[in-house]
C-alpha cells in the first residue's frame, strides 16, 4: 500500500500540514528490570504515514510512544523529528499531539476550554482560538457540546474531545496510545473510521499503539510488530499477513497451520513427518534465522481438503488429517484438524457449499507450495 504524503487538510486551515518524519535510532529504555523495556529499536516513520505499533502486552509499545512524546528519557539512542534531534527536548516543546486510552480530559474545564487549552498555551489570540475550536469540534462531529463538562459525555464523545484537543494546535504528529481500548466494539469501529478519515484530512503523521491485530490491519499504512522490547517486523498489513518473516509474526496476525522444521535445508524438497513437500524459493523468508530453525506456515484459507490422496492435484503438498471439530461461520466453515502422525492441531477454512464434514472423518489436506511461507522459528 502506498501512501500519498501530499494529502493536505481539506478543511479551512490553509498552509502546510504535511507530516513529520519520526526517526528512532538505536533507541533503548531500561528500567533496570531483567530486560530493557525497549531494546535497541530503529524505525523510520514516514511523513504523513499511519504507523501502528502492534504487539502483545508488555512488549514496549507504550514505552516507545512515551519516548517519542518525551514523557520518558532515553537510556540510549536518539529520536529525530524532521531531521532535528529532540532526544533532550522536554515534551512541551516537541509539539506532538497525544491521545490516551484514559482520555485525560481536564475535568474542571468545559469541552471548549479543553480543546482551547493547547492554543492558549501557545498564546493564540482569542478570535483565532474560537475559530479553530469550532472548526475542530466540527471535524470530530461534536458541534454544540462546547459548554458540557467531560463528565457529561459518553466515553466515545470524550475520546472525540480528546482527539480534537490533540489535533487543534496542528502538532507535528499525533501519538495515540490504545485510544479505543476503553470503548465497546461498535463504537470502536465507528471511531476507527473516524480516525482514518481525520488522518486523511489533516495529513499528519500518526503513530498508533494497539494490541488488537484487527484494528492494526484496518487502520495502518504500515505496522511495526513489537515482541519483548524489539521490533519483530515492519511492513504493510498485507506484507505482515502474507509474508511473515518469523513464526511470531505469523502467529500474531491471523490463524496459521504451523509445521516446525527445525534446522532444515531449504533448497528443493523437504520432509515433514514422512511427507515430502515441495518448496517455492520465493516463499522462504529473508530473515537469517531461517537457516538455523524454520517452520512452514500455511493460512487456513489456503488449505483445501479432499477425501482421498489421489484427489490431490500434482505438485501440491498434502498431509493426512482427521476432523476434530467443525466451526460454522456463515458463508464458510472452519475444520479443526489433527494432522499427520504427530497429530498436530490445524485448521482449514472451506466453503459451506463444499459438502459436509463430520467429526472423526479422515481426509487429506493440501495446499500449493507457493501458498505456504517458510519463516524463522
Partner 1 sequence: MSSNKMRLSGWPLLLPALALLAGILLVPLGRTLLDSVSEPTWTLKNYENIFTDGVTLTVLGRTVMIAAAVTAAALLIGYPYAYLMTRVSPRARGILLVIVLIPFWTSVMARNFAWIIILQNGGPVQKVFALLGADHVVLYGTSAGVTIAMTQVMLPFMVLPLFSTLGSIDRRLLLAARGLGSSPTAAFWKVFFPLSRGGVVAGVILVFTLSLGFYVTPALLGSPQQSLVAQLLAQRTTQLLDFAAAGALGMVVLIVTLVLVAWANRMGGTMSAIGVVATSRTKDR
Ligand X SMILES: Nc1ncnc2c1ncn2[C@@H]1O[C@H](COP(=O)(O)OP(=O)(O)OP(=O)(O)O)[C@@H](O)[C@H]1O
Binding site for Mg ion (CB under 5 A): 62
Does position 208 interact with ligand X (CB under 6 A)? The reply is no
Q: How far is the CB of 251 from ligand X (least distance, A)?
A: 17
Q: Binding partner of residue 121 among Mg ion, ligand X, partner 1, none, CB under 5 to 8 Å per kind?
A: partner 1
CB of 172 to partner 1, least distance (A): 12
Q: Is 62 in the site for ligand X (CB under 6 A)?
A: yes
Integer Cα distance of 118 and 162 in angstroms: 11
Q: Which is nearer to ligand X, 41 or 258 (CB)?
A: 41
Task: Report the nearest approach of ligand X to the CB of residue 28 (Å).
Answer: 12
Q: Per-residue x/- marks for partner 1, 90-119, CB under 8 A? A: xxx--xxxx-x-x-x-xxx--------xx-
> Quick check: 55 binds ligand X (CB under 6 A)?
yes
- Cβ atoms within 10 A of the Cβ of 27, count? 24
In this structure, what DSSP letter does residue 246 have?
Answer: B
Which of partner 1, ligand X, Mg ion, none sits in contact with 59, Cβ below 5 to 8 A by type?
ligand X
**Binding range to partner 1, per CB under 8 A, among 65-73, 178-186, 259-267, 274-282:** 65-73
Across the chain, the runs of DSSP E, i.e. the strands, are 22-29, 38-45, 50-54, 76-81, 84-85, 97-99, 173-177, 205-210, 222-227, 230-235, 257-262, 270-272, 275-277, 294-298, 304-306, 317-329, 332-339, 344-351, 362-367, 373-376
Round to whole Å and give the CA distance between 135 and 143.
9
Q: DSSP character for 188?
A: H
Helices (H), the chain: 61-69, 111-121, 126-139, 155-167, 185-202, 213-219, 237-242, 247-252
Q: How far is CA 97 from CA 124, 131, 307, 308, 337, in A?
A: 17, 19, 57, 59, 48
100 in Cβ contact with 162 (< 8 Å)? yes
- Among the candidate windows 64-72, 188-196, 328-336, 362-370, which touches partner 1 by CB under 8 A? 64-72
Q: Which of 100/241 has CB closer to ligand X?
A: 100
Q: In whole angstroms, how close is the CB of 128 to partner 1 at the nearest point?
A: 15
Name the binder of 346 from ligand X, Mg ion, partner 1, none, CB < 5-8 A by kind.
none
Q: Residue 192 interacts with ligand X (CB under 6 A)?
A: no
Report how far Cα 343 is from the mean position of its chain's Cα atoms: 32
* Between 69 and 234, CB nearer to partner 1: 69
Q: Which is nearer to ligand X, 74 or 305 (CB)?
A: 74
- The nearer residue to partner 1, 97 or 237, going by C-beta atoms, is 97
Contact 79, 44 (CB under 8 A): no
Site for partner 1 in 120-159 (CB under 8 A): 121-122
Task: Please give the residue ranges that form the binding site for ligand X (CB under 6 A).
Answer: 31, 33, 37, 55, 57-63, 211
Amino acid at each position: 500500500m502506498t501512501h500519498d504524503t501530499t494529502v493536505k487538510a481539506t478543511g479551512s486551515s490553509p498552509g502546510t500540514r504535511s507530516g513529520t518524519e519520526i526517526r528512532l535510532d538505536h533507541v533503548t529504555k531500561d528500567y533496570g528490570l531483567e530486560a530493557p523495556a525497549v531494546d535497541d529499536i530503529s524505525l523510520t516513520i514516514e511523513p504523513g504515514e499511519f504507523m501502528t505499533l502492534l504487539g502483545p502486552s508488555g512488549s514496549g509499545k507504550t514505552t516507545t510512544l512515551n519516548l517519542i512524546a518525551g514523557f520518558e528519557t532515553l537510556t540510549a539512542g536518539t529520536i529525530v523529528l524532521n531531521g532535528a534531534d529532540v532526544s533532550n527536548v522536554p515534551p512541551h516543546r516537541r509539539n506532538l499531539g497525544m491521545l490516551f486510552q484514559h482520555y485525560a480530559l481536564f475535568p474542571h474545564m468545559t469541552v471548549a476550554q479543553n480543546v482551547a487549552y493547547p492554543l492558549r498555551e501557545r498564546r493564540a489570540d482569542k478570535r483565532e482560538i474560537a475559530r479553530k475550536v469550532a472548526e475542530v469540534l466540527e471535524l470530530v462531529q461534536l458541534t454544540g457540546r462546547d459548554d458540557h463538562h467531560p463528565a457529561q459525555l459518553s466515553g466515545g464523545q470524550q475520546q472525540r474531545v480528546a482527539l480534537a484537543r490533540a489535533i487543534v494546535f496542528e502538532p507535528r504528529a499525533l501519538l495515540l496510545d490504545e485510544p479505543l481500548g476503553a470503548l465497546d466494539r461498535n463504537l470502536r469501529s465507528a471511531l476507527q473510521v473516524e480516525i482514518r478519515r481525520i488522518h486523511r484530512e489533516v495529513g499528519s503523521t500518526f503513530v498508533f499503539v494497539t494490541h488488537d491485530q484487527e484494528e492494526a490491519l484496518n487502520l495502518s499504512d504500515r505496522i511495526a510488530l513489537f515482541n519483548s522490547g524489539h521490533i519483530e517486523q515492519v511492513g504493510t498489513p498485507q506484507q505482515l499477513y502474507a509474508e511473515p518473516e518469523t513464526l511470531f509474526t505469523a502467529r500474531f496476525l491471523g490463524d496459521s497451520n504451523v509445521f516446525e522444521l527445525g534446522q532444515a535445508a531449504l533448497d528443493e524438497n523437504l520432509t515433514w513427518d514422512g511427507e515430502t513437500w515441495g518448496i517455492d524459493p520465493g516463499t522462504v523468508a529473508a530473515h537469517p534465522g531461517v537457516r538455523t530453525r524454520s517452520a512452514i506456515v500455511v493460512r487456513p484459507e489456503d488449505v483445501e481438503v479432499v477425501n482421498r490422496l489421489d484427489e490431490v492435484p500434482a505438485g501440491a503438498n498434502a498431509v493426512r488429517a482427521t476432523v476434530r471439530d467443525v466451526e460454522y461461520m456463515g458463508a464458510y466453515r472452519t475444520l479443526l484438524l489433527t494432522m499427520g502422525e504427530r497429530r498436530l492441531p490445524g485448521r482449514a477454512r472451506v466453503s459451506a457449499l463444499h459438502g459436509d464434514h463430520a467429526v472423526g472423518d479422515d481426509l487429506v489436506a493440501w495446499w500449493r507450495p507457493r501458498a505456504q511461507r517458510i519463516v524463522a522459528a
